[in-house]
A and B are shown apart, each in its own frame.
Chain A
Amino acid sequence: MFRFIVKRLFGIIPTLLIVSILVFLFVHMIPGDPARLVAGPDASYEDVELVRQDLGLDKPLVTQYFTYMSGLFQGDLGTSMKTKRPVFDEIADRFMPTFWLTIWSMVWAIIFGLLIGVISATKRNKWQDYTGMFTAVSGISLPSFWLGLMLIQLFSVQLGWFPTGGNDSWTSYILPSITLGAGVAAVIARFTRSSLMDILREDYIRTGRAKGLKENIVVWKHALKNAMIPVVTMTGLQFGFLLGGSIVVETVFSWPGLGRLLIDSVSYRDYPVIQAELLLFAFEFILINLIVDVLYGIMNPQIRY
């Protein structure tokens, strides 16, 4: 297991190199001229060219890439064109709010998703199942901007329980994390339900009952551990998506996170920030995949690394 993890960690490096090339190409293909944006709309042609030289954007793409990568290996992500601050600081400021929002959303999503999924599977075709699946379908199909605005309207504007935006206290986490978690909870619920229903038909479930075990133990111990194996993979993916920061939810709740940073830097053609963010997302995804694989091995004894 330890050797597997070390091997996989080393495997991350080539993957990230390839990703970095793709990201670099992709970012420079975004239409629009950052030099023009930095210099301002009234700047003369000469001024714009000066800015371009200043930013190093006049050099061939390959040279730019190597300059960027050599900086990266020294831990230098460059400077934001917009704020002139180090990109590292820009991202560090925004990472934590998104990270904690993700954690809270996942906590809700896992608790409610699992509960709804298990109840629906064990009470299938009864009212509990129909209610659970109706909730889940709503969770998937409600647009999150709408859900967010409704929650703000009800709990912030009318009842005044929570702030309408920002992340100044723990209460400001509640509404955005519910908004963000709803969709994930719905996906987890549906996945858990179908996976658990399949497992409950297995012969070893009947063996468990034949031993005289309580139905709760049969479901929560014997069935759920098997049913969770596919659910864990899916939950990991969702976690990865949320870590990237949700543009919609962060905008609705004026959340100072990575999602809004991304949209701002794209509209400003702030190449270094966009690149750094995309590389970070790729790294997070690869890391989460590794964690999921390790968990998978822990849960499923038939897999040996």
Chain B
Amino acid sequence: MKEKLLEITNLKTYFFTDTGQVPAVNGVDFYIHEGETLGVVGESGCGKSVTSLSVMRLLTDTPGKVVDGSIRFKGKDLLSLSEKEMRKIRGNEIAMIFQEPMTSLNPVYTIGEQIGEAVKLHLKYNKKEAKNHVINMLKLVGIPRAEEIINEYPHQLSGGMRQRIMIAMAMACNPTLLIADEPTTALDVTIQAQILELMKKLKKEKATSIMLITHDLGVVAEMCDRVIVMYAGKVVEEAEVTEIFDNPKHPYTKGLLNSIPKLGQKMDRLDSIPGNVPTPANMPKGCKFAPRCSQVMDICKENEPDLIQVEDGHKCRCFLYQNEMARVVN
């Protein structure tokens, strides 16, 4: 039996803005096994980034707050750790790669300084050891002229190079969990493929667990072991990657799959599902997907379904299957 590395239950993260309360993450449950790559997919604004920032407890300087739920990592409840204990986990045991490679590096410090900083902090390396380690990390992520690049500044590098730097920085302290928030969305297609290859290679070599956030089901097919599909701050479906593609249950997942472009192609809009993601102001009363659903029933507009197991290792949040289950039970 595989161990659960990260287990999130009923996570709720709300933003308290001037215009009201935004339930960006509204009762999310999922887990990641050791050595596993979990894909997190869903349209823009469904709460993928906010979920990962909640895990890292990086909602400082935003009006966001975790209001409920638990996040267990290696048996520890991250939400109850002190800030000091949390700092020992950030960048060390859980590392993160962000959506925006162009702006995620500090423009006034060299690459070597920025990666070395984490290494000195967590691995307690001295200056020379840190420098060697940084050079090795840069070589590992396929950066040419690593010895020179450490003295260069971010603006001297391309987007693809910067994302490699971010990966090197994230992997530098050998984290057990890597959270990659759309690591390739901002990059062009050929670079995307290279970055994905790189992550696969690193995962193999270091046995890191990965939480891979993406819009792109092509990337999921390529990289992941298991997938969760999110909609409006909730998980609506969870299954092994082959199961999701061969036997999708939730109408939303089916819609996503119908809109799947060729592997590696960018997918910013999902045209095949009519309508838009609900805004917090006009959140539907029942199932959040009901207004856009082609198989909507009366009950969907009144009540919200639970995330229940529909097959072995396959969960879905939809009345279509709950009724089926109910019928079986009756």
Contacts and interface: CB of A to CB of B under 8 A. Distances in A.
Interface of A: 200-215, 222, 225-226, 299-302
A211 B118 contact: yes
9 contacts: A207-B169, A208-B106, A211-B91, A212-B118, A213-B117, A213-B118, A222-B106, A300-B108, A301-B155
Contacts of A225: 108-109
A78 to B, nearest CB: 48
Interface string B103-117: 111111100000001
B104 A207 contact: yes
A125 to B, nearest CB: 11
Given A211-B121, A225-B108, A301-B153, A202 B92 contact: no
Contact of A226 (B56, B87, B89, B106): B106
Q: Which size class do B's interface residues fall under? A: 20 to 34
The 8 closest A-B pairs by CB, nearest first: A212-B91, A211-B91, A212-B90, A203-B103, A204-B106, A211-B118, A301-B153, A212-B87
B190 to A, nearest CB: 24
Contact of A210 (B90, B109, B121, B153): B90
Interface stretch (B94-102, B213-221, B240-248, B286-294): B94-102
Interface in B140-176: 153, 155, 166, 169
Contacts of A201: 61
B122 interface: yes
A220 to B, nearest CB: 13
Q: Which of B92, B103, B105, B107 has the most chain A CB atoms inside 10 A of its CB?
A: B107
A251 B169 CA distance: 59
Contacts of B104: 203-204, 206-207
B285 interface: no
A200 B106 CA distance: 11
A6 to B, nearest CB: 25
B103 A202 contact: yes
A211 B109 CA distance: 15
Nearest to B57: A209
A210 B107 contact: no
Contacts of B118: 211-213
B58 A206 contact: yes
B299 to A, nearest CB: 42
Contacts of A212: 87-92, 118, 121-122
Nearest to B170: A210
